[in-house]
Amino acid sequence: MKKTEIIDLSHTIEESMALFPGSSKPVITEISNHNTNGYLEHYISYNSHTGTHVDAPAHILEKGKPLTQYSIADFIGKGSCIDVSGLDVIDGNFIVKCKHILAQTEFALFYTGKSKSWGTEDYYKDFPVFTEYAAQLLGTFNLKGVAMDSISPDPIDSKDYIAHKTLLKYRILIIENLTALDQLTGKNFTFHAIPLKTNIADGSPIRAFAKLSL
């Protein structure tokens, strides 16, 4: 087999984790243990948009494609990591500048650097957001997904979710709250955004990782 390095791009789901403001927190309960039962088991509960996760079109669009209609091949593909750290806005001009990268990738990962603030108030502030036109231009490429190491492609107090809506109309999956993207800039890799298989239409936490060819 070809030699590869695997980089985990996922935050841990735990009770103390960062959440989208107002979102229900995960609950993890020990329900059996070695002393009493002879085995250790837990019961875990979380919102379908917890931590590192994928939004399907059905999350925002009433007739949007549900996650249940995506196959595993839709969650895996050639990835490219684009540095947007320090930007306030990702606009149409920026997307046009990246067109050569975007034309030959399936998952566009935007490295904002905000994962360094995961778990602090700063995580919810001053992250780069996408204009409607930038999202429309992204829709002209053959992308399976647009991903970022920040909480949202829209402003934290957005009422219209315009970047979400525009990307999801193009059936581009949105992947939020990645980490470790600093290890991917300038590299060739295959991106994986693997949800559990459930009957939930709107989205799911994922195990996100990159396979780098060495």
What are the residues binding a second copy (CB under 8 A)?
Answer: 1, 6, 8, 10-14, 24, 27-28, 31, 34, 38-49, 51-52, 58-60, 62, 71-73, 76, 78, 161, 190, 192, 194-203, 205-207, 209
Q: Which is nearer to a second copy, 5 or 88 (CB)?
A: 5
CB atoms inside a 10 Å sphere around CB 170: 15
Q: Would you say 36 or 86 has its CB closer to a second copy?
A: 36
CA–CA separation, 202 vs 184, rounded Å?
28
135 within 8 A of 167, measured Cβ to Cβ = yes
Min dist. Cβ of residue 11 to a second copy (A): 7
Least CB distance from residue 100 to a second copy, whole Å? 19
What residues contact 147, with CB distance under 8 A and at least 6 apart? 107, 108, 109, 110, 174, 175, 176, 178, 191, 193, 208
28 HSE (CA, 13 A, CB side): 9
In the bound complex, what is the minimum distance in angstroms from residue 98's beta carbon to a second copy? Answer: 21
Q: How far apart, in whole angstroms, are the C-alpha atoms of residue 75 and residue 72?
A: 5
Residue among 87 and 201 whose Cβ is closer to a second copy: 201
By beta-carbon proximity to a second copy, the closer residue of 74 and 95 is 74
CB of 160 to a second copy, least distance (A): 9
- Integer-rounded Cα Rg, in Å, for the chain is 17
Q: Shortest Cβ distance from residue 104 to a second copy (Å)?
A: 12
> Looking at beta carbons only, is 87 or 212 nearer to a second copy?
212
User: Strand, coil or helix: what is 97?
Assistant: helix
